[in-house]
Chains A and B, each alone.
Chain A
Amino acid sequence: MSKQDKKSKEPKPKATERIDTSSDGARHLNEALLDVQKLSFSYDMGKTDTLKKISLEIPKQKVTAFIGPSGCGKSTLLRCFNRMNDTIPTARITHGNVKIMGADIYGPKVDPIRLRKQVGMVFQKSNPFPKSIYENVAFGLRIAGERKKSVLDEAVEKSLKGAALWDEVKDRLGESALGLSGGQQQRLCIARTIAVEPEVILMDEPCSALDPIATAVVEELITKLREDFTVVIVTHNMQQATRVSDHTAFFYLGELIEYDTTQQLFTNPSIKQTEDYISGRFG
């Protein structure tokens, strides 16, 4: 039985098991997938907090959008979810924690590399490897030790279909990924991300470098991804947030100002600062 078949027939391993902690993740399965509690973060060894006591819960299999002006901390928070900030020597979590299905991702036993398989990321600019389309998608699985061609073939096809790219590339899987258009490259990066079957997909302005047609295709894909994954997207495009997300969080100067359903936040926000920002009146 291939790995893909196993996934469909067996329950997915709990996040708690996959990141080797002993927390009570199962309790949270039907609630928040990511739970952020009073999280403060500093880029300068704790001298100043870029994020200030952020608390929010990201629900499972929903799309959550982070909005706010540049420098408000939304991308920083996103990078906290898969410990991307660990690569900055002076960066520190100064307070609080982030839990995925109940397990603290900053716990001492957590391997950031394994965490990033569970919490994948798609960046602003598509970044395919200078390899074939096939190898780009199979890359994560090969790193994880998968060698069987039949398993890889199946995973590549499934991931490319999941990223709405299969029909466009199925006849040229061996060609260089760098020959794809910008929109196709971004979808290839999404395929590469979902090939390792993460729980969460983080997207940092995934459409900002794409034309309107490619943007529409990726946006439609994001709404589809929700069926299998939990998506957190940072966007400067508020219309995009209204189109693709179920929940929206508005940040300003490192603080979470308002977090609500997208429908509520964009039609009747409860905080005036949110209203001023989303309606273009930010002073």
Chain B
Amino acid sequence: MASESESTDLRHSLGNFEEALRESRSLVIKMGSLAQQNLTNAMNGLLQRDEDLCNDAIAEDEEVNAIERSIDQGGMEILMRFNPVATDLRSVLAAMKIANNIERISDQAENIARRARKILKKKEVEDIRLIEPIYDAATAMLQDAAKAYAESDTELALTLFERDKHLNKLHRKAIKHYTQAMEADTENIKTYLHLIFIVRCLERIGDHSVNICEEAVYITHGTSIKHVGPSALES
């Protein structure tokens, strides 16, 4: 067998292909950053009682949807025109799947913003702050998932599996608390119900972030770790 090539960054012989791959990647990164911003606006709108921020999150979701369509269309075109293989093929497929997850994250942000607007119309409940650590965990997971994809950082990607378990724990604890609060404080029952749904949205964002990391690992290693977790890489 011959030794491995020393070259590390050879350009594709078809310049258009290289450009299309780059474009797809940068659109995914841009989409992730927009979804992150939408989540931040939605949660700040809730916690700072700022309706304008909630409206921004709802309006900007359309931009995320548009980028997802572009990524899908671009991916289809790359598959049709260039018949990519190996890392290129995995990158194109993963970009389309990651875009789908980011779109769902942005939808969750929109849901949070819509419920937040309803909460803002009511009296503030004190234990709304219980949601903050859940938000911190979910948003950090989203940021790191985007970073793991952008920088092909497998080590970072794999940390999300344990962090998702922690987020699930926080989620269960918060649901229990707000359910009890609904019984104790019937006057604010609707607010607590909205908070329960918002906690659920944040938990889902954690799941989507894990999905993004699975795709990032697949691009780099060619091994699917879906439903198996990091141990799939060992085998």
Contacts and interface: CB of A to CB of B under 8 A. Distances in A.
Contacts of B10: 276, 281-283
Interface of B: 1-2, 4-5, 7, 10-14, 17, 82-90, 221-223
Given A273-B2, A276-B5, A282-B10, A239 B83 contact: yes
A279 B88 contact: yes
B2 A275 contact: no
Contacts of B11: 281
A165 interface: no
Contacts of A273: 2, 4-5
Q: Chain A binding site: helix, strand, loop or mixed by DSSP?
A: mixed
A267 interface: yes
A266 B83 CA distance: 11
A57 B14 CA distance: 34
A96 B230 CA distance: 43
A280 interface: yes
A272 B86 contact: no
Contacts of A279: 12, 84-88
A253 B12 CA distance: 20
A81 interface: no
A39 to B, nearest CB: 14
Contact of B2 (A238, A252, A276): A252
Interface of A: 238-239, 242, 252-253, 255-258, 266-269, 271-276, 278-283
B86 A257 contact: no
Most buried by B among A253, A256, A280, A283: A280
9 cross-chain pairs, A with B, having the tightest CB-CB distances, nearest first: A268-B222, A281-B10, A273-B5, A255-B2, A266-B85, A280-B13, A272-B5, A275-B86, A272-B4
Contacts of A282: 10, 13
A107 B63 CA distance: 71
A281 B12 contact: yes
Contacts of B84: 279
Contacts of A275: 86-87
Most buried by A among B4, B12, B88: B4
Given A252-B2, A255-B1, A273-B2, A278 B86 contact: yes
Contacts of A281: 10-13
Given A238-B85, A242-B85, A275-B86, A280 B222 contact: no
Most buried by A among B12, B13, B85, B89: B85
Contacts of A258: 1
Most buried by A among B1, B11, B222: B1
28 contacts: A238-B85, A239-B83, A242-B85, A253-B2, A255-B1, A257-B1, A266-B85, A266-B86, A268-B90, A269-B86, A271-B1, A273-B4, A275-B87, A276-B5, A276-B7, A276-B10, A279-B12, A279-B84, A279-B85, A279-B86, A279-B87, A279-B88, A280-B12, A281-B10, A281-B11, A281-B13, A282-B13, A283-B10
